[in-house]
Amino acid sequence: MMSKNKTSVSRRGFLRNAVKGSAAAAAAACTTVVAAPPEANALVRPPKPLPPDAVGLLYDSTLCIGCKACVTACKEVNHMPPDVGPAQQGWNAGGGDKPIYDSPVELSAKTLNVIKAYSHGTGATKDSAENGFAFIKRQCLHCADPSCVSVCPVSAMTKDAKTGIVNHDPSACIGCRYCVLSCPFGVPKYDYNDAFGEIKKCQLCKQQLAKNELPGCADVCPTGATLFGRTEDLKAEARRRTALKVGEYAHFPRGDIAGKVGGPRSGHEKLVEAAYQTHIYGEKELGGTQCLAVSAVPFDKLNLPTNVPENGYPTLSEGIQHTLYAGMIAPATVFAGLAYLAHRNTKNHTDE
C-alpha cells in the first residue's frame, strides 16, 4: 500500500511537469549555446555561394512569344507524358484514350517547364502591366542555397559541386515530400497518380549537357527568350538588357551565350519596345538562383514570390539546428532536465 504521507503523482501530472522541464532546459541550453557578440547572429549560418562554373538560364519575358516550343521540347527530351487536366478532358479527349494536345497549365509530375500568361484589362499591349499581357516561364530555378536539398533526410536531393544543378535521385528518395513543402517556388512535384510515384523537377537536362547539347527549352527557343550559359555570364547579360532604352536596337543571342554548348547560334537584332524592370529576378532572391529572369512587367504580377529575404531559408534553419546540437549540449541538457524531473516525481513512490 502507498503511505498516506507519500506524494501521489498521476501520469498526466508527470507528463505536464516533464514538458515544462524540457522547455526550461531547452531555453537554458539555447541561452548558453547561442551567446555571441552583439554584431553577429549565431543562429544564422553563412549563405552558400554559387560554384564558379554554375550554369543556368536567362529568361527574357519581352522576347517570349508564348509559342511553348520550350514546353514541347522539354517533354521530348525528358520523355514526359502528355498532361491534361480534368477541365480539359472534354475538348481534348481525341475520341479515344490519347489526348489531341499536351495542354499543361501548371508544373506537375508530368510537366517540368511551363509558360504562363499574365493579362490585365483589355490585354491589348504586350509587356504592359496596364491593359496588357506578358509571359513567364516556370521551372526549377536551381537555387544557390536550395531548401529542397537542406530538408531532404536521405540526400535524394543534391546540388552538383561543379555545375550547381539541383538533382533528384529517385532510387534514394523515400517519398517523404519534404522538398515539395519546403520549396518557396513550388517546383518539386509528386506523382500521386502512380502507386510508385516519384518526385519530378527540372534538372536542366543534365543528360543533354553531358553530350554537349543544350537543354531542350534553350535549344528550340526561336527568339532567344530562353538563353543558356554560365550564371555569371547570364547576370552580365541581364544587366545589359535592363539598361537598354525604349527605341534602341539591341542584339539578342540564342542558344548558349558563349556559343560553346550546342555550337554557335546566330542571334538577332530587335527593337526594344518596352522598358525593362531594373529588377533581375533570381539575382538576390533567397541567396540567388542560377536561372534568372528579366521582364517589363513587375514580377509580383507574374506570380513570382518577391517578398522574400535575400538569404535562403536554410541559413536560418540549419543555423538553429547546428547551434542547438553543437557538442550535443542542448540534447544533453534536455535529457538531464527530464531525468531530474522523473527522479524528483518518483522518489517518494513505493510499490503497493
Q: Which of 201, 222, 204 has its CA nearest to residue 214?
A: 204
User: pLDDT for 9-35, tens place per residue?
Assistant: 455 555 455 445 544 444 444 443 334
Report the pLDDT value the prediction gives residue 92, as an integer from 0 to 100: 77
Residue 135 in domain: yes
Q: Looking at residue 318, what is its pLDDT?
A: 79
Q: Are residues 250 and 336 in the same domain?
A: no
Residues 336 and 226 in one domain: no
Quick one: 336 and 290 in the same domain? no
CA separation, residue 8 to residues 22, 43, 337, 339, 347 (Å): 21, 42, 21, 18, 11
Residues 343 and 244 both lie in one domain: no
Average pLDDT over residues 215-237: 98
Give the range of the structural domain holding residue 261, as residue numbers without chain letter: 55-86+100-294
State how far Cα 351 lies from the chain centre: 57
Cβ-Cβ contacts under 8 Å for 90 (sequence gap 6 or more): none
pLDDT of residue 93: 72
| Average pLDDT, rounded, for the chain | 86
Could you tell me if residue 280 is inside a domain?
yes
Give the model's pLDDT for residue 85: 77
Same domain, 187 and 127: yes
Residues 225 and 335 in one domain: no
**Residue from 118, 111, 57, 58 nearest 303 by CA:** 118
In a domain, 46, yes or no: no
* Per-residue model confidence (pLDDT) at position 2: 44
Residue 144 sits in the same domain as residue 112: yes
Residue 261 has pLDDT above 70, yes or no: yes
Contacts of residue 28, defined as CB under 8 A and 6 or more positions apart, other chains included, come to 333
- Residue 234: enclosing H or E segment and its boundaries? helix 231-242
Average pLDDT over residues 102-112: 93
Closest C-alpha among 219, 173, 181 to residue 199: 173
Mean pLDDT of 191-200: 91
Distance CA(257)–CA(273), nearest Å, equals 22
Residues 267 and 232 in one domain: yes
Query: Is the pTM value of this prediction over 0.85?
Result: no
In a domain, 141, yes or no: yes
Q: Is residue 38 part of a domain?
A: no
Residue 202 lies in a domain: yes
Residues 322 and 235 in one domain: no
Total structural domains in the chain?
Answer: 2
CATH code, domain with 155: 3.30.70.20
Asked if residue 167 is part of any domain, the answer here is yes
Q: Do both 209 and 60 map to the same domain?
A: yes
Q: Which three cell numbers stand for residue 106?
A: 501548371
Residues 323, 183 share a domain = no
pLDDT at 209 over 80: yes
Buried b / exposed e across 111-144, counting CB within 10 Å, b at 16+?
bbbbbbebebeeeebbbbbeebbbbbbbbbbbbb
Task: List, in sequence order, every beta strand (DSSP E) within the chain.
Answer: 55-60, 114-119, 125-126, 132-138, 157-159, 166-168, 189-190, 199-200, 226-230, 249-252, 268-271, 292-294
Convert the pLDDT of each residue in 285-316 to its tens digit.
Answer: 999 999 999 999 999 999 999 999 999 889 88
220 shares a domain with 274: yes
Q: Cβ of 20: how many Cβ atoms within 10 Å? A: 12
For residue 7, which amino acid is it? Answer: T
Q: How confident is the model at residue 37 (pLDDT cuts 50, 70, 90)?
A: very low
Least confident of 80-89, 222-231, 343-352: 343-352
